[in-house]
Amino acid sequence: MNQMDKNAPLFGLVLAGGASTRMQRDKAALAYAGKPQLLRACELLQAVCAQTFISVRADQTDDPVRAALPQIVDRPGGHGPIAGIHAAQAQHPQAAWLILACDLPYLDGETLAHLIAQRDPVRLATAYRSSHDGMPEPLCAIYEPHGHAALVGYIEGGGRCPRKFLMGADVSLLAQPKPRALDNINTVAEYDEATRSFSEAAAGERSIQVRYHAILREQAGRSEEHLNTAAATPAALFEELRARHPFALGREQLRVAVNAEFAEWSAPLRDGDVVVFIPPVAGG
Amino acid sequence: MQGLFRFCDVDFDPAALRAELIDPAAGGYVAFEGWVRNHNEGQAVTRLEYEAYAELAVKEGERILAEASQRFPLLRAACVHRLGELEIGGLAVWVGVSAAHRDEAFAACRYIIDEVKHRVPIWKKEYYVSGDSGWVNCERCAHGTTPGADHRTHPVR
């Protein structure tokens, strides 16, 4: 570590050279809310990096999704993400690189900002610990310039895997502020799930009918109400209503039904649902 | 085996319900009638009122009757619960089962009334001599009292 590293500018690189074999279509072009995820990843980096590039193979430079973005082309013989990191470091050796996979639709600015705030330039890299297996996440990580020699040595020794490289290196590992933020998308089913969750979030509010019985009806002063709410679960909805009505019972004393069937408090609420909070029963 | 869970908002006659359970293979019939009593937890009760979330209550009631017929070799089972206002002595709930033998008839009848009391979304408001009124099992919980065995709120199923 020298003085230069501490002052090293932070450059961003989105890895967009993947073969997308499991998805069977170009991952970089996959769109969320109409925007290719490659572009979305670039915009996230542009907000926090001095310069941002995309990493491409030589045969991808004219691809429509990639052509308009500043590119760093893999060196001949390079293979996979590690070749992209290598090429970027070689082209701008003075920079620290924030490396990002392009297939992280849940990634948000907060997760990047936390990584940058916790960056430790003395170490070879700063990375998140995977919320799934505890291993380093190599494709949302900051690689310091003084680590370039080690990376070159790893590649020359036959190494291909950025994760294994980080596992064998002096790396600062952070807990993810949002556990799902680094979930990547490899299959069509995963893409569909992400798309669905975004469209629901974009809708923001749901139209919900709430019906009240017994003590809750009396305390709410009505037997039903319609509301537009951002509450995503019955639990959140109840807390929202509790702020408005003088309910004496807490959630732990109630059950909840959605569309005339008992439901979990954490169940997802959908537009048009009918929700009934059920106070302690007393039949017989 | 025929399962029947119903609500009734007027007084009803158990004799007609009993007739529905008659079966040539039955060796016996057990019924339970729940009546409105004039006191509860130290307070003199003058009348009470039942309310249900009928849409879900009927489903849950039918599930209980189906469970009873899986647990016990029954021929028929039915349950009718009263809604609305009731006076002291009024018939609040009726459970009837017929079976080949008395043991399972008694056991199934007991199972059904216990589960109905604990699981079906029905609420009871008592009116007291003092002029007060209260929703049974709700007012005490609201003040943090630990529910007792007869005030089990939401059993884990």
Say if the Cβ atoms of B142 and A257 lie within 8 Å. no
Domain boundary among A198, A231, A262: A198
Residues A104 and A119 in one domain: yes
Domain boundary among A198, A215, A232: A198
- Print the domain residue range for B87: 2-151
Number of domains in chain B: 1
Domain boundary among A136, A167, A198: A198
By three-state DSSP, how is residue B14 classified? helix
B100 found inside a domain: yes
Residues A18 and A154 in one domain: yes
Closest chain A residue to the Cα of B7, Cα to Cα: A283
Cα dihedral across residues A51, A55, A58, A61: positive or negative: negative
A76 found inside a domain: yes
The pLDDT tens digits of the residues spanning A230-249 come to 999 999 999 999 999 999 99
User: What is the pLDDT, as a whole number, of residue A21?
Assistant: 67
Residue B150 confidence class, pLDDT cut points 50, 70, 90: very low
Residue A241 to chain B, least CA–CA distance (Å): 17
Number of domains in chain A: 2
B141 found inside a domain: yes
**Burial classification of residue A205, based on how many CB atoms lie within 10 Å of its CB (0-12 exposed, 13-18 middle, 19 or more buried):** exposed
B157 found inside a domain: no
The pLDDT tens digits of the residues spanning A204-237 come to 788 899 999 999 999 999 999 999 899 999 999 9
Of the ranges A129-133, B28-32, B47-51, which one carries the lowest mean pLDDT score?
A129-133
Closest chain A residue to the Cα of B133, Cα to Cα: A215
Over residues A83-102, the mean pLDDT reads: 95
SS3 for A53-68 is EEEECHHHCCCHHHHC
Say if the Cβ atoms of B121 and A248 lie within 8 Å. no
B156 found inside a domain: no
Q: Which residues contact A209 (CB under 8 A, 6 or more apart)?
A: A224, A225, A226, A272, A273, A274, A275
DSSP state at residue A251 = G
The pLDDT tens digits of the residues spanning A8-47 come to 899 999 998 876 667 777 888 888 877 888 999 999 999 9
A41 found inside a domain: yes
Residues A122 and A185 in one domain: yes
Residues A43 and A100 in one domain: yes
User: What is the pLDDT, as a whole number, of residue B153?
Assistant: 40
Q: Could you give the C-alpha distances from B67 to A252, A267, B72, B109, in angstroms and in order?
A: 27, 26, 9, 12
Q: Tell me, yes or no, if B112 comes closer than 8 A to chain A by beta carbon.
A: no
Q: Residues of B with CB below 8 A from A265's CB?
A: none
Q: Residues of A with CB below 8 A from B147's CB?
A: 280
Q: Which residues contact A29 (CB under 8 A, 6 or more apart)?
A: A36, A37, A38, A65
Query: CATH no. for residue A274?
Result: 3.10.20.30
Higher pLDDT pick, B1 / A61: A61
ipTM here? 0.88
User: What is the pLDDT, as a whole number, of residue B100?
Assistant: 97
Report the candidate in B33, B103, B101, B98 with the shortest Cα–Cα distance to residue B69: B98
Q: Tell me, yes or no, if B136 comes closer than 8 A to chain A by beta carbon.
A: yes
Residues A38 and A134 in one domain: yes
Mean residue pLDDT of chain A comes to 90
Q: Tell me, yes or no, if B116 comes closer than 8 A to chain A by beta carbon.
A: yes
Query: CATH no. for residue B106?
Result: 3.90.1170.40
Residues A263 and A184 in one domain: no
- How far apart are the C-alpha atoms of B115 and B155, rounded to whole Å? 10
Residues of A in CB contact (< 8 Å) with B are 211, 213-215, 248-249, 253-255, 257, 260-262, 276, 278-284
B99 found inside a domain: yes
Residues A85 and A186 in one domain: yes
A283 found inside a domain: no
Location of structure tokens 């043991």? B103
Residues A118 and A150 in one domain: yes
- Print the domain residue range for A267: 204-278
Closest chain A residue to the Cα of B83, Cα to Cα: A283
From the list A215, A255, A276, which residue is nearest B138 (CB)? A215
B9 found inside a domain: yes
| Token reading at A151 | 């990376």
B137 found inside a domain: yes
B37 found inside a domain: yes
Residue A201 confidence class, pLDDT cut points 50, 70, 90: low
Q: Tell me, yes or no, if B27 comes closer than 8 A to chain A by beta carbon.
A: no
Residue A273 to chain B, least CA–CA distance (Å): 15
Residues A180 and A209 in one domain: no
Residues A151 and A215 in one domain: no
Q: Tell me, yes or no, if B119 comes closer than 8 A to chain A by beta carbon.
A: yes
A194 found inside a domain: yes
Residues A62 and A119 in one domain: yes
Residue A254 to chain B, least CA–CA distance (Å): 8
β-pair type (A51-56, A10-15): parallel
